[in-house]
Structure 1
């Protein structure tokens, strides 16, 4: 067994959290081919992404409370096994409807890795330490989406799109084995919560009426909506409209991921000098600039690959700076129900992402315009949530130091 605070445990948590981006990013180059093979329109193919997000969101509301009662480790192992089995089902699907169903089931199991990986960080570290560790975790985890589209494109070209899902199944089985063998249980028994419906509802009620939790969660969700608007529309914009080869899609996608990693590293470095909310504001401003630039270029009819990739890379630098701090802020006040808090945080995040992705699929006109407009709108909404909620009530431990006798409000 690894020590809870060891680098090996951090790497293992990163591998579990990476299930989410791997399952969304690895098959992106195959979306046009899946549509052609099943004779399905863009909206039906895009549903394989949106239904994944819906399943991911709903499952978190269950696996979070289960993990608060029984511990993180057994729920993670069970969930990731379900993910692996559903991935095999995706590979064997013979219709777009079967693929959609298996993607939903894949998400139900796969949600255990990211939501409980985040909760485990809160179990192990203090709120301010968690912001730094989550930023490091995110930069490690970002290697997955950096490599996933390129690997997916190579598998698509050589073996066909079902091989992508078989590779995901193999990854899930590997992570399950490593967690079973190497990770100690991070949740102390003193923090275990009873599994009673009334108790769960009270926990969720406590969270949804907490202004601090809502502020950080909604700010995060809006930025995540912008990210998934890009994931939903990028393959159709870059491959179908701008003529990028599917096997080269991952190379352009990697530029965006590099931006996210740079934002994560900046967040971790700045956390030693600045308050978490100061880092969050800087990230928001960068994201708004990137989203706005893409929308302006699209409205002006500048239709090139770099008119999409460079602004999105800037957006992702901002996202990488703010997302770890938003998560740490949302969980800061809830050490005894971090699983439920992480679950509701993830539910709202994925619900908004699913809505943004579905909106891109519904309104897509073949050009970058719809995708760019939704990304810019999401960034602006995130800034509004921060100004209206977070700035008024920062999380405990995130506030500036006050002079003696100064009001906390």
Structure 2
């Protein structure tokens, strides 16, 4: 068994958390081809992405409390096994309705990885340490979406789109095996919570009315929604509108992920000298700059690949600085119910992302304008949530007074 504080445990948790971006990013190059194969329009195919996010959001509300009662490991293993079976169902789907159903089931299982990975970090570390570790986890995890679209593009051209879902299922099965035999349960027995409906309702009401939690969660959710707007629209904008080949899509996508990794690494370095709040506000400023620049170029009808990729990479660098701080801040007040707090946090994040993704597909007009405008709006909304809530209600250990004691 690995020590809970070892780098290998962090890598394993990153592999579990990466299941979320893998299940969305790996099949992005295949969206246009899947539409042709299943006789479905862009809005229907994009709905498989939004339904995944919706299922992901709903499942977390149950996954977190279950993990607070029975522990992180058994719930994570069960979820990963469901993810494996649903992935095979996706690969065998013969119409878009069946694909939607199995994508929803895939999300129900896949939600266990991100929710419980975040909760395990909170189990193991203090809030300020968790901010640094989550930045490290995010950097490792970012390797998955950097590689996933390229792998998906080659699987698509070599074996067809169903092979992408087979690969995802195998990945989930392997991670389940490693979790089962590689780490011990990170949750302390004395922190187990009741599964009674009254207790669950009380816990969610307690978490959901905490102003610090609300501020960090909304800041995170709007930043993540901007990221998801790009995920939802990028394949159509880059492949259909700007003429990028599906097998090359991943290379352009890697530029965006490189921006995200750069933001994560910068946050890790700055975390040794700066408070999380100082890193957070600078990350938001970077995201607003990138998002508004892309929207401005689209409004000026500057339509080329780099008018999308350079501003989006800048936006993602800011997101890479922002997300670890908001994750740690949202969970800081809830050491005894980190699973439920992580679940509610993830529900808000994924529900907003699903709505934004559907909006991108519904409003898509064949250019980059809709996607770019929504990304800019999300960046500005994230900054607004920070200014209105986070500055007034910072997380314990994030404030200057406590940091210097």
- Bin the TM-score by the shorter chain: over 0.9
Distance 1:288 1:366 in 2: 24
Kept in 1, the 8 Å contact 2:276–2:325? The answer is: yes
Distance 1:189 1:315 in 2: 41
Q: Which residue of 1 is the match for residue 305 of structure 2?
A: 305
Superimposed CA distance per residue, residues 24-67 of structure 1 (whole angstroms, 9 cap, x where no aligned partner): 00000000000111111111000000000000000000010000
Q: Which residue of 1 is the match for residue 202 of structure 2?
A: 202
Q: Which residue of 1 is the match for residue 131 of structure 2?
A: 131
Distance 2:376 2:130 in 1: 29
Distance 1:298 1:314 in 2: 16
Residue 402 of structure 1, CA deviation: 6.6
TM-score by length of 1: 0.98
Kept in 1, the 8 Å contact 2:275–2:403? The answer is: no
Superimposed CA distance per residue, residues 204-248 of structure 1 (whole angstroms, 9 cap, x where no aligned partner): 101111100000000000011100100000000000000000000
Q: Which residue of 2 is the match for residue 389 of structure 1?
A: 389
Q: Which residue of 2 is the match for residue 407 of structure 1?
A: none
SS of the aligned residue for 2:52 comes to: helix
Distance 2:253 2:238 in 1: 10
Aligned residue runs from structure 1 range 16-165, under 5 A: 16-165=16-165
Distance 1:278 1:247 in 2: 40
Distance 2:200 2:16 in 1: 25
Distance 1:234 1:106 in 2: 22
Distance 2:318 2:111 in 1: 25
Residue 349 of structure 1, CA deviation: 0.2
1:288 matched to 2:293? The reply is: no
Distance 2:235 2:327 in 1: 28
SS of the aligned residue for 1:335 comes to: coil
Distance 2:8 2:249 in 1: 32
Kept in 1, the 8 Å contact 2:294–2:307? The answer is: yes
Q: Which residue of 1 is the match for residue 329 of structure 2?
A: 329
Question: Pairwise CA RMSD of aligned residues?
Answer: 1.0
Distance 1:71 1:248 in 2: 42
Distance 1:143 1:208 in 2: 32
SS of the aligned residue for 1:377 comes to: helix
Residue 315 of structure 1, CA deviation: 0.3
Kept in 1, the 8 Å contact 2:397–2:403? The answer is: no
Aligned residue runs from structure 1 range 296-375, under 5 A: 296-375=296-375
Residue 7 of structure 1, CA deviation: 1.2
Unaligned runs of 5+ in 2: none
SS of the aligned residue for 1:326 comes to: helix
Relative to 1, partners in 2 of residues 1:173 and 1:370: Cα closer, same or farther, differing over 3 Å?
same
Distance 2:101 2:227 in 1: 23
Distance 1:208 1:75 in 2: 23
Distance 2:127 2:120 in 1: 12
TM-score by length of 2: 0.99
Runs of 4+ in 1 over 2 A off after TM superposition: none
Q: Which residue of 1 is the match for residue 224 of structure 2?
A: 224
SS of the aligned residue for 2:401 comes to: coil
Q: Which residue of 2 is the match for residue 262 of structure 1?
A: 262
Relative to 1, partners in 2 of residues 1:134 and 1:402: Cα closer, same or farther, differing over 3 Å?
closer
Distance 2:172 2:289 in 1: 37
Q: Which residue of 1 is the match for residue 234 of structure 2?
A: 234
Q: Which residue of 2 is the match for residue 6 of structure 1?
A: 6
Distance 1:147 1:196 in 2: 42
1:248 matched to 2:248? The reply is: yes
Aligned residue runs from structure 1 range 178-217, under 5 A: 178-217=178-217
Distance 2:150 2:352 in 1: 27
Distance 1:334 1:122 in 2: 9
May I ask how many residue pairs the two structures share in their alignment?
Answer: 404
SS of the aligned residue for 1:401 comes to: helix
Relative to 1, partners in 2 of residues 1:35 and 1:196: Cα closer, same or farther, differing over 3 Å?
same
Distance 1:398 1:254 in 2: 32
Residue 403 of structure 1, CA deviation: 12
Distance 1:89 1:14 in 2: 25
